[in-house]
Amino acid sequence: MNDLLNGARRFALGLIACLALLAVATPSHAAAKIQRLISPGGIEAWFVQDATVPLIAMEYAFSGGASQDPVGKSGVGNMVAGLLDEGAGDLDSKAFHERLDRRAIHLNFSSNRDHFRGSLRMLKDNKDEAFDLLRLALTSPNFDPADVERIRAQVTSGLRRDTTNPSALASRKFLEVAFGDHVYGRQANGTLDSIPTIAAPDLKDYVRRVIARDTLRIAVVGDVDADTLGKLLDRTFGALPAKASLTPVTDVQAARPPQRAFIPLDVPQTVVTFGGPGIRRQDPNFMAAFVVNHILGGGGMSSRLYREIREKRGLAYSVSHSLLWMDRSALFVGNTGTRADRAGETVDAIEKEIRRMAEDGPTQTELDEAKSYLKGSQMLALDTSSKLAQALLQYQLDKLPIDYIEKRNAMVDAVTLDDARKAARQLWGQGLLTVIVGRAPQAAAQPAAAPPKAN
């Protein structure tokens, strides 16, 4: 029986992979018409009907996320995300996963700072079973004690690994420096102290408070008609509570730079995370910030930071920089890794280049090239059903208009050199919050101590 199930799963997964490749070869999904669908029961979704291949992709989110973890119990939302597909209704974990595997249904949940998110992908012919399994997971999760302990052990194991992972340590410390005691400063996946305290009642209470229709946002792309989709949405989400019971989250401005923190860790490569207060998504200067960030560090091998840190000085293999925005704040964040004995030189070079951008802004040539790239790359970023569904959900969470895709390139084009210089000053004029994880400066020039020889 298991061989048959595994064979069927391999066949279905292979079919989905082949269909996905076909989807990439077809004209961009971004050109398709986006509909605002309202189900008979009043559930709204942004929807693109596309019969190119017999696939359906759905992305959805509820407001809340890790911000709704109880005080002292960070990681509850993350635990819920790990457990919703571990048995629901009259299906235990094994039976639930066998039904997913038999039809090659992809069901996933996650909890980030502001949202509890999920994705569902399936072949068109398996849509009824896929949506039914999602309904069970959201409305009747089992939270069986054995499953809770297994997921707890997995989360704990990951957190233990993070204690010796320089990138994880740098990220965690950066959020603590940036946000202090605010909920954004907490770890979404929990801590070694908080995870052991989480019990089944905490998980059930989180679901009761967060998983509700009034904050639900949905995006669907694929081979399904509007009438059928509306009925599926009602059947899947209609039984959820009408209103969430969320703890309010206050606005917060990231800590004012410059600040620097150091975490000693005996590793050969030092990790540097740097950043500071960002520009929120609804800020009129956001698009200018988006363009100028591409020039500084978001453009891969064409960015200023890459040229200065990698190509000219050979200090690091890569360096990246991006804008992050949340419901109640915003950041810019960059990362690199370098040899321990060159960490100071690397940080100095990063600070110098960012200060130069803040003071002088980009050149007209840099601006023109960035705008050309950002306009041309949009279609490639939305070339599959799943990518488009993810984008449409994010646009809803960002409170953007349903025709944003059509307007976006004109907004990029409208950014002037003065706009870009103003955004650069706003982002980088104060300096950096910097977290360095690695060997202490006085030890950086020395090789790591060799382990003792066995007798």
| Residue 423 C-alpha from the chain's centroid | 24
Residue 30 confidence (pLDDT): 52
Phi then psi for residue 24, to 5 deg, are -65, -30
pLDDT at 4: 37
Residues of the chain with CATH 3.30.830.10: 2-237, 259-440
Model confidence over 28-38: pLDDT tens digits?
455 569 999 99
**Is the model's pLDDT at 43 over the cut of 70?**
yes
The domain defined by 2-237 folds into: Cytochrome Bc1 Complex; Chain A, domain 1 (3.30.830)
Q: What is the pLDDT at residue 453? A: 43
pLDDT at 380: 80
Q: Tens digits of per-residue pLDDT, 403-418?
A: 999 999 999 999 999 9
Contact 444, 438 (CB under 8 A): yes
pLDDT surpasses 70 at 247? yes
Give 355's pLDDT tier (boundaries 50, 70, 90). very high
The confidence score (pLDDT) of residue 379 equals 79
Express as a percent the part of the chain with pLDDT over 90.
85
In one-letter notation, the amino acid at residue 107 is: L
Q: Which of 87-101, 246-260, 278-292, 302-316 has the lowest mean pLDDT?
A: 302-316
| Residue 401, φ and ψ in degrees, nearest 5 | -70, 160
pLDDT at position 382 is 86
Per-residue pLDDT, 6: 44
How far apart, in whole angstroms, are the C-alpha atoms of residue 355 and residue 349? 10
Contact call for residues 28 and 40 (beta carbons, < 8 A): no
pLDDT-derived band at 421 (thresholds 50, 70, 90) equals very high
For residue 19, pLDDT beyond 70: no
What's the token pair of residue 33?
């018409």
Is the pLDDT at 442 greater than 70? The verdict is: no
Q: What is the DSSP letter of 401?
A: -
In this prediction, residue 381 carries a pLDDT of 82
Q: What pLDDT score was predicted for residue 388? A: 95
Would you state the pLDDT for residue 27?
Answer: 39
Q: Which two structure tokens, joined as six digits, stand for 272?
A: 């540097």
What integer best gives the mean pLDDT of the chain? 90
Beta-carbon contacts of residue 127 (< 8 Å; ≥ 6 apart): 56, 224, 228, 232
**Least confidently predicted of 273-277, 316-320, 351-355:** 316-320
| Residue 269 β-bridge partners | 339
DSSP H stretches of helix in 140-249: 145-162, 166-179, 200-210, 226-237
Q: What is the mean pLDDT of residues 293-310?
A: 90
The CATH homologous superfamily to which domain 259-440 belongs is: Metalloenzyme, LuxS/M16 peptidase-like (3.30.830.10)
Look at residue 71 and tell me whether its pLDDT is greater than 60.
yes
